[in-house]
Amino acid sequence: MGQAVETVGNPFVSRFMRLRQAGPFALTIFGASGDLTKRKLIPALFNLYKDGFLSQPFNIVGYARREKTDREFQAEMAEGIKKYSRRQPDSDEQLQQFLSTLSYVIGSFEDEPGYRQLKERLRMNALSLMTPENNLFYLATPPDSFEPIISNLNHSGLITPIADGPRWSRLIIEKPFGHDTVSAIALNHAVHKAFDEKQIYRIDHYLGKETVQNILVFRLGNSIFEPLWNRRYIDNIQISVSESLGIGSRAGYFDSSGIIRDMIQSHIMQVFTLIAMEPPASFETNAIRDEKAKVLKAVRYLKSEEISTHVVRGQYGPGSVGGEKVKGYREEKDVPSVSTTETYVATKITIDNWRWSGVPFYIRAGKRLPKRVTEVAITFKAPPHLLFDLSGCENLTPNVLRLRIQPQEGISLSLGAKVPGQALQIAPVRMDFMYSESFGVASPEAYERLILDAITGDSTLFAREDEVDLSWKIIDQITKHWDNAPLHIYPAGEWGPTAADELVARDGRRWLRL
């Protein structure tokens, strides 16, 4: 079974690899027939293997209802690697070696027999690899299967309690983690019947993105930015997640969630906390999570009468994106023709603490917008006193720091500079840093980082129970007054409803162009 086949020449990468080598493990993926397994999880594991991070014996077990042999599962996963992996195998032998670590167990999520078979398979694999039974269970299933799977794992004796010596069991759960505060608390309760909080890895793939991780490094690893990171120097912060895609074939899930639950409660709240949190006392997992939780606690809840002025809710109608005609949301497959689910939300968040008092955080997320861009833009205040003759200064725009999360990952800072010549003319110029140019290597996929973290027992980049509850509370106080925010239909391919422009214009500001 799995052995590393390649090491990396770069000394920094090699050092990092030594620190992060996975020990022996078995990964069971529930929902192994699903898209996520083929598109993301197996390609991520293959890349970790290719890079030599999985140098100890390991095995991966797919668990799902669909009848399939080990060979068929391996062939499907080989297809997934060829189609979706960020890098291709160096040789057929390398691919085959990786595939030989994969096997498949047929079982339903609700009934016990499958779990008995799984237990036997994991025991046999550990015996033949001569490894301890270190089990990582990955729930890549629809959320209504989370509780039955956890309860069956528990009753089948598949979970090693945290105190039980060198063996370990861990659980990775995909979002959505609940639908609101009440259901998230109930789910946490169910998970805790079987797993200790230290064993639980609530995955949010945005936290695995290189550029999201860089937010803290950028803030705290450079002495020039942190002193400016507060209400004295910052005028406003905009967090934008624009997607050009619609909902594809996910109507069943999306129509009951809407973008506020799908994107804002999870990904955007995570980015928001990294931008707004206080520097932690150390880079230790709970020190970081404590600070993230504190920011969420300091977010001011909107009153019901504020919803209409602080939140804009939109849904895409028919239109065209990238020159192609596309359907409106209500015409998408399996979406009810009267659906009022939002595919766009813009809102203004304020934080009641010393650092951020009076600084608005404008947040927007939408589907079927003109392009795919995720960005945090920090606009600084204007200089307190302008020395220049005003007629020469019409182009003096505030400094804006943009953290581009995707695509073209990088950071840019706009500055005002004198245009060469006799007149005093000022024009905005940009200082750019692009990941691809500066490091010359493609960033690993988010799932690579997060899966390796879970295997090595580092939960820093996973959401803790209280973070999840707190971000649900922020969302709940909006959704419980949803009726106060009228639904605006925007044409697919445009930048959302015009009401979103009014939301920022009311404060004398505008959205920055993406």
For binding to ligand BG6 (CB under 6 A), which residues are involved?
A: 243, 262, 374
Catalytic site includes residue 205: no
β 234-242/200-202 pair status: unpaired
Instruction: State in angstroms the smallest separation of the CB of 262 from ligand BG6.
Output: 5
Instruction: State in angstroms the smallest separation of the CB of 257 from ligand BG6.
Output: 8
Q: How far is CA 184 from CA 120, 139, 166, 476, 477, in A?
A: 32, 16, 31, 12, 15
Burial 56-68 (b: 16+ CB within 10 A, else e): bbbbbbbbbeeeb
Whichever of 253 and 380 has its CB closer to ligand BG6, that residue is: 253
Instruction: State in angstroms the smallest separation of the CB of 171 from ligand BG6.
Output: 19
Instruction: State in angstroms the smallest separation of the CB of 494 from ligand BG6.
Output: 19
Note whether 139 and 172 are within 8 A (CB): yes
Tell me how crowded residue 49 is: count the other CB atoms within 10 A of its CB: 25
Note whether 341 and 254 are within 8 A (CB): yes
Instruction: State in angstroms the smallest separation of the CB of 490 from ligand BG6.
Output: 17
Whichever of 169 and 374 has its CB closer to ligand BG6, that residue is: 374
378/331 Cα distance (integer angstroms): 37
Q: Mind giving me the DSSP string for 127-149?
A: HHHT----EEEEE-S-GGGHHHH
492/478 Cα distance (integer angstroms): 24
Whichever of 243 and 255 has its CB closer to ligand BG6, that residue is: 243
**174: Cα within 13 Å, side-chain hemisphere:** 18
Instruction: State in angstroms the smallest separation of the CB of 367 from ligand BG6.
Output: 7
Residue 397: both structure tokens together: 């725009």
Q: Pick the closest to residue 292 from 224, 351, 367, 225 (CA basis).
A: 351
Instruction: State in angstroms the smallest separation of the CB of 176 from ligand BG6.
Output: 8
Torsion of Cα atoms, 124 then 125 then 130 then 132, to 10°: -90
Whichever of 113 and 252 has its CB closer to ligand BG6, that residue is: 252
Q: How far is CA 88 from CA 44, 75, 117, 148, 337, in A?
A: 12, 15, 33, 37, 43
Tell me how crowded residue 427 is: count the other CB atoms within 10 A of its CB: 13
Q: Which amino acid is present at 70?
A: D
Residue 247: both structure tokens together: 């909902």
Whichever of 238 and 374 has its CB closer to ligand BG6, that residue is: 374
194 CB burial (10 A radius; 0-12, 13-18, 19+): buried
Whichever of 161 and 248 has its CB closer to ligand BG6, that residue is: 248
How distant is the alpha carbon of residue 117 from its chain centre? 33
Whichever of 315 and 374 has its CB closer to ligand BG6, that residue is: 374
Element (H, E) at 462: none
Q: Name the active-site residue from 179, 205, 267, 310.
A: 267
181-192 vs 146-155: helix crossing angle, rounded to 10: 10
Whichever of 243 and 453 has its CB closer to ligand BG6, that residue is: 243
Instruction: State in angstroms the smallest separation of the CB of 243 from ligand BG6.
Output: 5
Note whether 414 and 429 are within 8 A (CB): yes
Q: Pick the closest to residue 262 from 182, 376, 143, 146 (CA basis).
A: 143
Whichever of 243 and 375 has its CB closer to ligand BG6, that residue is: 243
Residue 495: both structure tokens together: 């930048």
Instruction: State in angstroms the smallest separation of the CB of 372 from ligand BG6.
Output: 7
Instruction: Please identify every residue annotated as catalytic.
Output: 267
